[in-house]
């Protein structure tokens, strides 16, 4: 089954990686595979490609071979599938360092991550990520992991205070308080189990004018729940620091974010690792010995062109940042 996902900032991301034949490259968020296919083409058969996705169906959709026939055994029991120069890995990208150790790669030449959700996931009603069609309130990136909480668990079990905090902090939703109150009131009568039911609750929590904006009134709440269910911001923080550690000298890391929280984490981690001396200004001579680990290539993030936004409105909030290991 072919992906319907439209890859965001494809040219800009690939050009900034400066790929060459024979490189070892990681796509930490394979998704619809648009970036991955370009990477594989650039590095050729002499290169090594490692693609991560928590959603094993994304790996199956991307692969041109039956992945289960090509399992790569490992003591950590992480699902890794290998054919020729391609490794496909089904786990959280925060495990990048552990996976590369399993594969005996101490360093890599380039890493790319696109933190956005693919259209394949958004438009699949059974996944519960979107609100344009009714489906179960799930939102897990990895549906196989039955131990992970779902969006229904969050909506029906979290306190009003916790729901307000999540919706405000992760969704930047101005009506987080009224939405949280309405959720608690509604679930007292009946559990909220589907995306359609949650959309109706949100609709009854915001002013009429708010319901007719260009951006759907449920967007921010659904985004917040998805981030909470998948611990996304914590995973991004660990991934970014580990990625810097495993890059070769002059290696590039390119990240695309769609949420201000994601972009803030990337910006802060990059700044911290680009700093040299951290001694107080009054010290005449450096005593800390701190050396910068990276060079920030993009002082301001690269954003999609008007042409790309017109062709793919979901790209409108994308920001691309690039660093180089030194």
Could you say which of 188, 214, 230 is where a domain stops?
230
Of 116, 58, 45, 59, give the one whose Cα is nearest residue 88: 59
Least confident of 47-61, 117-131, 308-322: 117-131
pLDDT at 195 over 80: yes
Structurally, the chain folds into a number of domains equal to 2
pLDDT at 5 over 80: no
Q: What domain range is 308 assigned to?
A: 10-119+233-325
Q: Write down the pLDDT at residue 280.
A: 82
Mean pLDDT of 245-268: 96
Q: Write down the pLDDT at residue 162.
A: 98
Cβ–Cβ under 8 Å, residues 326 and 249: yes
Site of tokens 């995306």? 195
Mean pLDDT of 23-52: 97
Q: How many CB atoms lie within 10 A of CB 292?
A: 13
Distance from chain centroid for Cα 2: 21
pTM, two decimals, is 0.88
Q: Does 2 fall in a domain? A: no
Please check whether residues 139 and 79 belong to one and the same domain. Answer: no
Could you say which of 230, 259, 287 is where a domain stops?
230
Q: Does 270 fall in a domain? A: yes
pLDDT digits 0-9 by tens, 202-221: 999 999 999 988 889 999 99
CA distance 306 to 44: 32
> CATH number, domain at 155?
1.10.150.170
CA distance 114 to 6: 12
Could you say which of 169, 196, 230 is where a domain stops?
230
Q: Does 1 fall in a domain? A: no
Please check whether residues 81 and 182 belong to one and the same domain. Answer: no
pLDDT digits 0-9 by tens, 64-73: 888 999 999 9
Q: Write down the pLDDT at residue 87.
A: 97
The pLDDT confidence band at residue 141, using thresholds 50, 70 and 90, is: confident
Concatenating the DSSP letter of every residue in 169-209 gives HHH--TTHHHHHHHHHHHHHHS---BHHHHHHHHHTTS-TG
The Cα-based distances of 189 to 71, 184, 194, 198 in angstroms read 47, 9, 15, 14
Tokens of 78: 């992480």
> CATH number, domain at 37?
3.40.50.150
Q: Write down the pLDDT at residue 279.
A: 80
């Amino acid at each position: 089954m072919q992906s319907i996902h439209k890859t965001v900032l494809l040219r800009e991301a690939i050009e900034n990686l400066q790929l060459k034949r024979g490189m070892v490259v990681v796509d930490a968020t394979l998704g619809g595979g648009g970036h991955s296919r370009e990477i594989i083409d650039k590095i050729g058969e002499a290169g090594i490609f490692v693609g991560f996705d928590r959603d094993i169906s994304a790996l199956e959709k991307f692969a041109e071979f039956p992945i289960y026939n090509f399992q790569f055994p490992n003591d950590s029991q992480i699902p890794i599938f290998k054919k020729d120069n391609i490794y496909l890995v089904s786990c959280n990208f925060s495990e990048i360092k552990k996976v590369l150790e399993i594969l005996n790669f101490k360093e890599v030449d380039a890493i790319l991550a696109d933190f956005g959700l693919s259209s394949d996931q958004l438009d699949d009603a059974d996944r519960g990520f979107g609100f344009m069609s009714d489906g179960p309130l799930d939102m897990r990136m990895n549906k196989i992991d039955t131990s992970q909480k779902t969006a229904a668990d969050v909506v029906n079990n979290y306190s009003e205070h916790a729901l307000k905090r999540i919706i405000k902090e992760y969704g930047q939703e101005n009506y987080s308080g009224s939405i949280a109150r309405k959720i608690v009131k509604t679930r007292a009568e009946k559990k909220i189990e589907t995306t359609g039911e949650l959309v109706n609750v949100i609709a009854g929590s915001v002013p009429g004018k708010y319901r007719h904006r260009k951006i759907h009134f449920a967007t921010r709440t659904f985004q917040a729940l998805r981030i909470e269910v998948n611990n996304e911001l914590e995973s991004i923080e660990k991934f970014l620091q580990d990625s810097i550690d495993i890059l070769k000298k002059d290696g590039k890391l390119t990240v695309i974010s769609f949420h201000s929280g994601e972009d803030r984490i990337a910006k802060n981690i990059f700044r911290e690792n680009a700093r040299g001396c951290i001694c107080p200004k009054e010290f005449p001579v450096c005593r800390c010995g701190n050396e910068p680990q990276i060079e920030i290539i993009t002082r301001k993030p690269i954003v999609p062109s008007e042409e790309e936004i017109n062709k793919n409105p979901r790209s409108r909030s994308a920001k691309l940042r690039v660093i180089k290991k030194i």
